Amino acid sequence: MIEIDLTGQVAVVTGGSSGIGFATAQLFLRAGASVAICGRDGERLARAQAALSEQFPNGELLAMRCDVLDAADVDAFAQAVGTRFHRTDMFVNNAGQGRVSTFADTTDEAWREEFDLKYFSIIRPTRAFLPMLRGAAHPSIVCVNSLLALQPEPHMVATSSARAGVLSLAKSLATELAPQRIRVNSILIGIVESGQWRRRFEREAQPGQSWEDWTGELARKKNIPLGRFGRPEEAAQALFYLATPLSSYTTGSHIDVSGGVARHV
Ligand code: NDP
């Protein structure tokens, strides 16, 4: 792996208490950056904070309860990062979850909730952290998005539609912020083993069925060319690349981390 020293820089990861966000926080801490993570569930956040502090005893870590859909929470999180670290260099919009529903079973309320989550989980945090990003030497924003943005699935109709919209939003942001040297990119993931999938495994697996068997069967059913789910650290590595100056001439772009699921050229 290419080594990069981020000592003195600050990375913020929304939803860093689990899955992809947690793995991304690990990579930033390993590279020497100070890191701030947030999440809604205080216990999950405390567990993540304890695990990261144990793994990186000299790391600078701020873990704060914050719902990215709550404007006051988001402002308080930005303020806390400013007070503790005085800057933000890399900002990762990761917090969120998907919604499984077809057009027939998606109510107006569900459509609104999904659009609210997908758009405002990016809009409000980005707005709150922009003033600090403007002061950084190599500022960047990276959004966790899904391949559904380009390859919609009927069983995730609202998520797919919203994902396409936020890919467009990231592109517009990249263009608007380029004169301020702020790069904006996305990753498009397929299926990544993480908290959401662990919870589905607990609900849906047959008695005695292992995690490996359950995910392997799903990967086969879903025709994932690489034959398995992605791992959080594989999504995190793409996020890390796009967040750091390793990708200094890349903006308005995305990396596909879907195990080959994309059918387009
Ligand atoms: P996890 O459930 O493992 O992690 C999600 C993280 O986001 C948790 O830390 C969670 O903490 C936090 N979070 C969720 N909603 C909010 C909120 N409103 N405010 C603050 N924090 C929040 O899932 P993943 O790691 O898989 O998910 C990361 C991102 O990747 C999500 O945006 C997800 O939609 C996206 N994604 C994941 C896919 C996959 O296959 N894993 C596929 C496509 C996209 P808490 O619940 O305590 O708030």
> What pLDDT band is residue 264 in, cutting at 50, 70 and 90?
very high
Q: How confident is the model over 174-200, as a mean pLDDT?
A: 94
| 52 pLDDT higher than 60 | yes
- Residue 38 CB–ligand 1 contact under 6 Å: yes
Ligand 1 geometric centre to CA of 97 (Å): 5
- Residue 48 CB–ligand 1 contact under 6 Å: no
Ligand 1 geometric centre to CA of 96 (Å): 4
Which tens digits make up the pLDDT trace of 114-144?
Answer: 999 999 999 999 999 999 999 999 999 999 9
Which tens digits make up the pLDDT trace of 32-44?
Answer: 999 999 999 999 9
Q: Are 17 and 63 in contact (CB under 8 A)?
A: yes
* Structure-token match 């899904």, residue found: 146
175 compared with 196, residue with greater pLDDT: 175
- Domains with residue ranges and CATH for the chain: 10-192+232-253 (3.40.50.720), 193-229 (no CATH)
Considering the chain, what percentage of its residues have pLDDT values greater than 90? 96
Ligand 1 geometric centre to CA of 222 (Å): 21
Ligand 1 geometric centre to CA of 135 (Å): 28
- Residue 24 CB–ligand 1 contact under 6 Å: no
Q: What is the DSSP string of the chain?
A: ------TT-EEEEETTTSHHHHHHHHHHHHTT-EEEEEES-HHHHHHHHHHHHHH-TT--EEEEE--TT-HHHHHHHHHHHHHHHS--SEEEE-------B-STT--HHHHHHHHHHHHHHHHHHHHHHHHHHHTSSS-EEEEEEEGGGTS--TTBHHHHHHHHHHHHHHHHHHHHHGGGT-EEEEEEES-B-SHHHHHHHHHHSPTT--HHHHHHHHHHHTT-TTSSPBPHHHHHHHHHHHHSGGGTT--S-EEEESTT-----
Around 202, how many Cα atoms within 13 Å sit in the side-chain half-sphere? 6
The per-residue pLDDT for 1 is: 57
How far apart are alpha carbons 166 and 163 in whole angstroms? 5
Considering the chain, what percentage of its residues have pLDDT values greater than 70? 99
| 149 pLDDT higher than 70 | yes
Residues 6 or more apart whose CB falls under 8 angstroms from that of 217 comprise none
Its pTM stands at: 0.96
Main-chain phi, psi angles of 114, to 5 degrees = -70, -45
> What pLDDT band is residue 14 in, cutting at 50, 70 and 90?
very high
Please state the atom number of ligand 1 nearest to the C-alpha of residue 196: 2
Which residue among 13, 45, 155, 196 has the greatest number of ligand 1 atoms within 8 angstroms of its CB, and so is best to mutate? 196
Ligand 1 geometric centre to CA of 144 (Å): 9
Main-chain phi, psi angles of 145, to 5 degrees = -125, -175
| 2 pLDDT higher than 70 | no
The per-residue pLDDT for 194 is: 84
Please state the atom number of ligand 1 nearest to the C-alpha of residue 229: 40
* Structure-token match 């040297």, residue found: 181
* Mean pLDDT, rounded, of the chain: 96
Q: How confident is the model over 233-250, as a mean pLDDT?
A: 98
Residues 6 or more apart whose CB falls under 8 angstroms from that of 13 comprise 21, 24, 25, 28, 35, 36, 37, 38, 92, 94
**Tokens representing 77?**
């999180």
- Residue 144 CB–ligand 1 contact under 6 Å: yes
Ligand 1 geometric centre to CA of 132 (Å): 24
The per-residue pLDDT for 114 is: 98
The per-residue pLDDT for 105 is: 96
The per-residue pLDDT for 89 is: 98
Residue nearest to atom 43 of ligand 1 (CA): 146
Ligand 1 geometric centre to CA of 22 (Å): 10
> What pLDDT band is residue 90 in, cutting at 50, 70 and 90?
very high
Please state the atom number of ligand 1 nearest to the C-alpha of residue 66: 20
Render the burial of 199-212: b for 16+ CB within 10 Å, e for the rest. eebeeeeeeeeeee
